[in-house]
Chains A and B, each alone.
Chain A
C-alpha cells in the first residue's frame, strides 16, 4: 500500500518524461530500422547481409548514446524535484524505512527504463528477424545490449549523484560515474561484450547500492 503510493508519486513525476523517452527511444530505433529497410529495398537483401558479414556493419550505431541520455534524464526528472527545497525530507519522513522508500523509487525508475528499452529492442527485433538470418539479427541486438546497460547505469549513477547532499561530493561522484560509464563504451567492435555482459549487468544493478550512501549522508545532515 505504502509502496504503491511511492510508485504513484514517482509516476506523477516521470509520466510526461516517460512518454518523451519512449518516443525518443522508439523513434531512434525506428529510424535505424527505416535506414535498414531503405538499404534493403534499394540495394537488396544481399547487400545488407554481405555488408554485415564482410564489414562488420550493424546499422544501429546511431543508437549508441540514446539509452545513456534517456537514463540520465530519467534520474534527473525523478530525483531533482526531491532535492528541490529538500523535499526529499518529506519522503524520508514517511512512515516507511528510508532504504525501502529509496529502493522503491529506484525500482520504479529501473522498471520504467527497462520497459522503454525492451520496447525499442522488440521493435528492432520485429523488423530485423524478418529480413536477416538469426546470426545476423542476434549480432545486432547483442551489440546494442551494452548501450542499454549503460542507460541503466547512467540512471542509477545519476540518482546517486542527485541524492548526494553536498556539491563537493557530487563532483567527486560525477567523476567516478564518468569513469564507470566509460566501461560500457570501451570498444566499437560488435558483440565484443558478450562474455562480459552477465557480470556487467550484475555490476550495473548493484550501482543502486550507491544511492543508499547518499541517503545516509543526507540523513546525517551533511552539507557544503
Chain B
C-alpha cells in the first residue's frame, strides 16, 4: 500500500518536472523568430518585403535585394495599397496591362485564414442555416438551428426547443433524393448575418461525396458536386468572398489544395505545395492577379505566389524559423484547443 503510494508520488513528481522545466525554459529562453511582412507583387514579378531595419526605420525591398522608396512600394503592390494610391491620386488606369477601377480591386481582394486551432476544436453539434434568398438586402439569422443526425437533418425551433418535423422532413427528403448519405463527414459554413451573401453549407456526406446545401425561400437547395475521380476530400472551407468567384476551398487527403468555383461548380487544383490544415496554418492574401499564400510549417515559413486565374505556382520564398523549444509534457498546444497531456517537441 505505502509502496504504491510512494511510486505514485514519484511518478507525479517526474511528470510535474517534465511539464514545468521545459515550460519555464521556453518562457524565458526562447524568443520567437521574426519574419518580415511579405507580399507577392505581380507588377515587378517578385516578393515585396517590408522590414524593420536596425535603426527602427522601415526598409522596402524585394526578395532579390532591390530597394524601393515608400511610394514605389505602394505602386508595386497596387491592390494592397489601393486606398493610399487613391488618396495620393496615383491609382493607375491599368495594372499589368489590365484596365482596373478601385471597385474592381476592392471586390476581388480577399483574405483567408486557415488555422489548426479552428479545425482541432470542440464543436457544438448544432448550427444555423440562413435564408439565402430572402429578397432583402441584409441577411437575417433564422429562428431555428439544425443538427445532422445518422438519419437526416433536424431543425429545432429555438423559442420552443422543439423539433420542426415538417421542415426537417422536407430537407431530409431533398438531401436523400440527391444521394446524400447521412451522417455528414464534414461541413463548412459561415452562419453569420455580417456578410454580403449566403451560400449555406458545403458538406461531405458519409461517403465523402461533396454537396452544396442552402435554404432558398424556405426550401432546400441541394446540389451534388461531381468530384474528379480519385479525389478524396478531407477539409472544406467555405469562402463567401465579395467577388463571388468561389464556393469553397478544399484540401484532400494528400495535402493538395483545391478550389470549387461558384457558378460552374468547377473543381480545380491549385499548385500550392503540400498543406496539412490540421497541423499548419495558412494565410491567403488574394487579389485579381495573384494570391500570396503563407504557410507556417514546423521549422519554416513558406510564401507561395499563385496565379489568380489558373492557380499555377509563380514563385516561392522560404524563411527559416527553427524551433528551439525544449521538448516536454504539455497540456495545451498552439495547434488545437484541447487540453490533454502529450509530449511535444
Residues of A within 8 A of B (CB): 44-46, 48-50, 52-54, 99, 130-133, 135-136, 139, 146, 176, 179-180, 183, 186-187, 189-196, 199, 206, 209-210, 212-213, 216
CA of A201 to CA of B65, assembled, Å: 58
Neighbouring A residues of B338 by C-beta, 8 Å: 192-196
Nearest 10 Cβ contacts at the A-B interface? A191-B122, A135-B125, A196-B340, A209-B5, A212-B5, A45-B158, A49-B158, A189-B337, A186-B331, A186-B339
* Highest count of chain B CB atoms <10 Å: which of A48, A133, A210: A133
Identify which of A130, A132, A187 contacts B332 (C-beta below 8 A): A187
The interface size bin for chain B is: 35 or more
CA of A196 to CA of B147, assembled, Å: 25
- Nearest CB of B to A43, in Å: 11
Asked if A133 and B8 make an inter-chain contact with CB atoms under 8 angstroms apart, the answer reads no
Asked if A192 and B122 make an inter-chain contact with CB atoms under 8 angstroms apart, the answer reads yes
Given A180-B16, A193-B339, A213:B145 Cβ within 8 A: no
Neighbouring B residues of A212 by C-beta, 8 Å: 1-2, 5
Given A186-B332, A196-B340, A46:B158 Cβ within 8 A: yes
Asked if A99 and B6 make an inter-chain contact with CB atoms under 8 angstroms apart, the answer reads no
Given A50-B128, A132-B161, A209-B4, A187:B339 Cβ within 8 A: yes
Neighbouring B residues of A136 by C-beta, 8 Å: 124, 126
Identify which of A130, A133, A146 contacts B145 (C-beta below 8 A): A133
CA of A131 to CA of B156, assembled, Å: 12
Given A179-B16, A187-B337, A135:B1 Cβ within 8 A: no
CA of A94 to CA of B145, assembled, Å: 62
Neighbouring A residues of B141 by C-beta, 8 Å: 46, 50
Identify which of A53, A179, A187, A206 contacts B126 (C-beta below 8 A): A53
Asked if A176 and B124 make an inter-chain contact with CB atoms under 8 angstroms apart, the answer reads no
Asked if A206 and B8 make an inter-chain contact with CB atoms under 8 angstroms apart, the answer reads yes
- Nearest CB of A to B154, in Å: 10
Neighbouring A residues of B332 by C-beta, 8 Å: 186-187
- Nearest CB of B to A148, in Å: 15
Neighbouring B residues of A139 by C-beta, 8 Å: 124
Neighbouring A residues of B340 by C-beta, 8 Å: 193, 195-196, 199
- Nearest CB of B to A53, in Å: 6
- Nearest CB of A to B337, in Å: 5
Neighbouring A residues of B337 by C-beta, 8 Å: 187, 189, 192
CA of A45 to CA of B147, assembled, Å: 17
Residue on A nearest B192 in the bound complex, by CB: A54
Asked if A130 and B126 make an inter-chain contact with CB atoms under 8 angstroms apart, the answer reads no
Neighbouring A residues of B14 by C-beta, 8 Å: none
Neighbouring B residues of A131 by C-beta, 8 Å: 161
- Nearest CB of A to B16, in Å: 6
Identify which of A179, A180, A210 contacts B5 (C-beta below 8 A): A210
* Highest count of chain B CB atoms <10 Å: which of A176, A191, A199: A191
Neighbouring A residues of B160 by C-beta, 8 Å: 45
Identify which of A146, A196, A213 contacts B2 (C-beta below 8 A): A213
Given A187-B337, A196-B338, A53:B331 Cβ within 8 A: no
Neighbouring A residues of B8 by C-beta, 8 Å: 206, 209-210
Asked if A52 and B331 make an inter-chain contact with CB atoms under 8 angstroms apart, the answer reads no
Given A189-B337, A193-B339, A46:B126 Cβ within 8 A: no
A-B contact pairs, 29 of them (CB 8 A): A44-B159, A45-B161, A46-B141, A48-B158, A50-B128, A52-B124, A53-B128, A99-B1, A133-B145, A133-B156, A135-B147, A146-B339, A176-B12, A176-B13, A179-B16, A179-B20, A183-B331, A186-B332, A186-B339, A187-B337, A191-B122, A192-B121, A193-B338, A194-B122, A194-B338, A195-B338, A196-B339, A209-B4, A212-B2
Neighbouring B residues of A186 by C-beta, 8 Å: 331-332, 339
Asked if A130 and B331 make an inter-chain contact with CB atoms under 8 angstroms apart, the answer reads no
Asked if B270 lies at the interface with its beta carbon under 8 angstroms from chain A, I say no
Asked if B106 lies at the interface with its beta carbon under 8 angstroms from chain A, I say no
CA of A122 to CA of B217, assembled, Å: 41
- Nearest CB of B to A165, in Å: 16
Asked if A135 and B5 make an inter-chain contact with CB atoms under 8 angstroms apart, the answer reads no
Neighbouring B residues of A183 by C-beta, 8 Å: 331
